[in-house]
Amino acid sequence: MFPLERLKFIPTPFYYYDTEVLNQTLQQLKKEADKYGFIVHYALKANANDKILNTIKQYGIGADCVSGNEVKKAIETGFKPEHIVFAGVGKNDDEINYALNNSIFCFNCESLQELEIINELAAAKNKIAHIALRINPNVNANTHKYITTGLEENKFGINLWELEAVTGALKIFKNLKLIGLHFHIGSQITDLGAFKSLCLRINEIQGWFENHKITIENVNVGGGLGVNYHEPDTYLVVDFASYFKLFNDFLELRPDQKVHFELGRAIVAQCGTLISKVLYIKKGVNTNFAILDAGMTELMRPALYQAYHKIENISKDSQQSAISNSQSAMYKYDVVGPICESSDCFGKAVTLPETQRGDIIALRTAGAYGEVMSSAYNLRNRVKAVYSDEL
């Protein structure tokens, strides 16, 4: 599936984006969301690469931003301000002012003090800021602890017991207009049951607002839909049909309410691959190391979350598929990067065909939280990107 004959002449490491996979994913996403009139915002934090953003924008979806620069990027890319939502526990005054100046659709607000500040800044501009309350639903997403966000122990959102105080304050904050509720329970969620629990909790919370005679126009259920890191080729496009159907089945909507989603990973993960070359094979005590020219600076997820990315030796895989019925020997390697950190390891005891200096290694499912989390640590060059439709 990789155009090896072309890729092998491009200096490594780089991200390879398969634009066809991205377009297929977006088509499927639109088709399934449109069935129910659901509104999707793309979470820029997953990948803010210009070409990726331009492609996504063409599908007429909105943008979910978590910093002033993301809001700016979304606007510069051509996402309409009225389709931009802005979340985050720590929005600073400049970021809030920038979003106010551009009249974005909604601030997803995470604390009483934040509401107070947005109200003040909006008043200074004689504007009414549209806000949604990000409510911490205390639902377990059953995912990695670093990417769980919807539990009371997490820093995100307004807790249920604070609702009385917050809605009371909203009556005084004349420059805020409450237009919705916002939830996000975590990322890389593969158990759809967690989303069902979220729907049931939202139904209860909606009851609370109804009892308090507060009308809610928009319900934003966040993102978090997970992808299959182990079998990317079998599950190139996630099962959007079951995901959206679940919300349609379990969310009890009030008349004229709109449902919003903020998906990042599910849209971009499978279209991206980190392509690297083997620099050295080094014998260890119990293992061999395959030392790559890409490291945690290009793809941080394994070092940060012990995240799994499928590792393939695409030089050897292509040779093997050429030799029919090849039963060539497989070996185990610790696949590591060049950075001066022991955690700079992409996988331990990874089974690969015999691997040599110069072989091309693909780290799959790296389109989300890959390039965007890359760094220049060790004064490394910033990682480049190439696109299937430009080769």
Residues forming contacts to ligand LLP in the complex (CB under 6 A) are 43, 45-46, 64, 87, 147, 149, 184, 187-188, 222-225, 262-266, 301, 305, 368-369
Q: State the minimum distance, in angstroms, from the CB of residue 146 to ligand LLP.
A: 7
Angle, to 10 degrees, between the axis of helix 50-57 and the axis of helix 19-34? 30
Q: State the minimum distance, in angstroms, from the CB of residue 240 to ligand LLP.
A: 12
Q: State the minimum distance, in angstroms, from the CB of residue 55 to ligand LLP.
A: 17
Q: State the minimum distance, in angstroms, from the CB of residue 226 to ligand LLP.
A: 7
45 vs 316, which CB is nearer to ligand LLP? Answer: 45
29 vs 352, which CB is nearer to ligand LLP? Answer: 29
59 vs 289, which CB is nearer to ligand LLP? Answer: 59
Backbone angles phi, psi at 283, to 5 degrees: -80, 130
Strands 84-86 and 62-65: parallel
Q: State the minimum distance, in angstroms, from the CB of residue 299 to ligand LLP.
A: 10
Q: What is the DSSP string of 28-69?
A: HHHHHHHTTT-EEEEEGGG---HHHHHHHHTTT-EEEESSHH
Interatomic CA distance for residues 122 and 96, integer angstroms: 9
Q: State the minimum distance, in angstroms, from the CB of residue 48 to ligand LLP.
A: 12
136 vs 388, which CB is nearer to ligand LLP? Answer: 136
216 vs 300, which CB is nearer to ligand LLP? Answer: 300
Interacting residues of 386 by C-beta distance below 8 A, sequence separation 6+: 7, 10, 14, 15, 16, 17
Q: Please say whether the beta carbons of 378 and 339 come within 8 A.
A: yes
Which of 233, 211, 228 has the alpha carbon at shortest distance from 308?
Answer: 228
Q: Please say whether the beta carbons of 186 and 148 come within 8 A.
A: yes
365 vs 388, which CB is nearer to ligand LLP? Answer: 365
Q: State the minimum distance, in angstroms, from the CB of residue 315 to ligand LLP.
A: 27
Reported in sequence order, the residue ranges of the chain that DSSP labels E, i.e. its strands, are: 14-17, 39-43, 62-65, 84-86, 106-109, 129-134, 176-182, 218-220, 258-263, 272-283, 288-292, 311-313, 330-336, 345-353, 360-363, 384-387
What is the number of residues in the chain?
391
128 vs 147, which CB is nearer to ligand LLP? Answer: 147
